[in-house]
Structure 1
Amino acid sequence: MSQESTRRRLTQQQAETVSRLTVAAVEVLNEEGFDGLTVRTVAKLAGVAPATAYTYFSSKSHLVAEVFWRRLNAGVGEPDLSTPPAERVAQVLREVSMVVAGEGQLGGAVTMALLGTDPDVEHLRLRIGGFIRRRLAEALEVEPENPGPLLDALEMIYAGGLVHAGMGHMSYEQTSERLVAAAHLLMEK
């Protein structure tokens, strides 16, 4: 896992502190929900001074976005180029949609956090979107900078699907299968 945070490179000790904070954030989310989450509460649970926590995370939205970024980065691998393109796209969409599956209130919190206006969240939102775009481009064997309409459509599908799941309309498992089915429909055209 990368030791780079939103704001700077981290020493090993700093990386461990950030890791404790992100783990504690998920625990607090599952007990208190997004509305009850505060950086101060997370810091207390992680055994970190609130001032220290705020040096890494400007807001609760920033903290939740970082949790999602770390899980996405660790949970979405490079597509298997030995499989057909539709299967590679399905692999990426499944992995993206399942990053927060079974994580209690994390999915809804990620949706709320990523839709915010915090500049640190905006930075992560761009990083997250770029990462997913690269993975889908790799699956399609196209350049991310010159993707064509298929990649654009796939991005719209996953973004809408994840927002839909984050609002609680369906589970992430159900969303995953619907994303894959939609991708297959697009790719058959």
Structure 2
Amino acid sequence: MARNQERRTTLLDAAIEVLGDEGARGLTFRAVDARAGVPTGTSSNYFTDRDQLLSQVADRIFVRMTPEPDSLVAALEPKPSRELVVELMRWVARRMAAERTCYLGLFELRLEATRRPELRTQLTKVLRTDLAYNIRTHVENGMPGDADTVRLLYFALTGLLFDHFTVPGLHDDRELDDLIETLVSRIVPEA
């Protein structure tokens, strides 16, 4: 059984790479098998259809993008302040850059979800859970602002990273860290 789970994870990671590199149209069982380095037909033994593969890819992306609990605890140790929010947002941006393929894959899934109701339902569930967790963490740790502050930070960072990953020259005159500091200072109230 463990071997089967390892193989499933390998296939999902390969699917994320295909999705990030080639887009949703390039995501086929054959492409996943090739990227995973397994015999043709392997992924179709693990996923009944493309919709199931897409839904499980959404889950796997969030597993890969979620920080280790200890690293989050350490990041939240300093006194809550706007400056800490800036550092946390920069930390998130660095983590997303380290998982660039996952982040691009997530954008592809969002677009694909506009055409696939089952994927839309799954992706909405995953994103809603993630946003609720971020709101809860922000509020429970006494960070400045409220739930709407976190929502606005989420919207702003999502858009900023979308630009950063898809059209990197768009904000040539500004460093990503500086843009993050600007958006936090405009959204987050003083502590």
Separation in structure 2 between the aligned mates of residue 88 and residue 129 of structure 1, nearest angstrom: 24
Look up the match of 1:19. Answer: 9
Alignment of 1:171-182 (within 5 A): 174-175=175-176, 177-182=178-183
The CA deviation string for residues 69-91 of structure 1, in whole angstroms up to 9 with x for no partner, is 12222468355143323244334
1:40 aligns with 2:35: no
Is 1:93 the counterpart of 2:89? The answer is yes
Q: How many residues align?
A: 174
Q: Percent identity?
A: 17
TM-score of the aligned structures, taking structure 1 as reference length: 0.66
1:111 deviates by: 1.0
Match of 1:54 among 47, 50, 64: 47
**1:152 maps to what in 2?**
151
The gaps in structure 1 that reach 5 residues or longer are 1-10
Q: Runs of 4 or more off by more than 4 Å in structure 1?
A: 102-106, 174-177
Alpha carbons of structure 1 residues 20 and 148: separation in structure 2 relative to 1, 3 Å: closer
Larger Rg: 2
Distance 1:178 1:92, change over 3 A: same
1:72 matched to 2:81: no
**Whose helix proportion is higher, 1 or 2?**
2
Is the contact made by 2:85 and 2:184 (CA closer than 8 Å) also made in structure 1?
A: yes
What letter is aligned with 1:138? T
Structural RMSD (CA): 3.7
Return the TM-score normalized by structure 2.
0.65
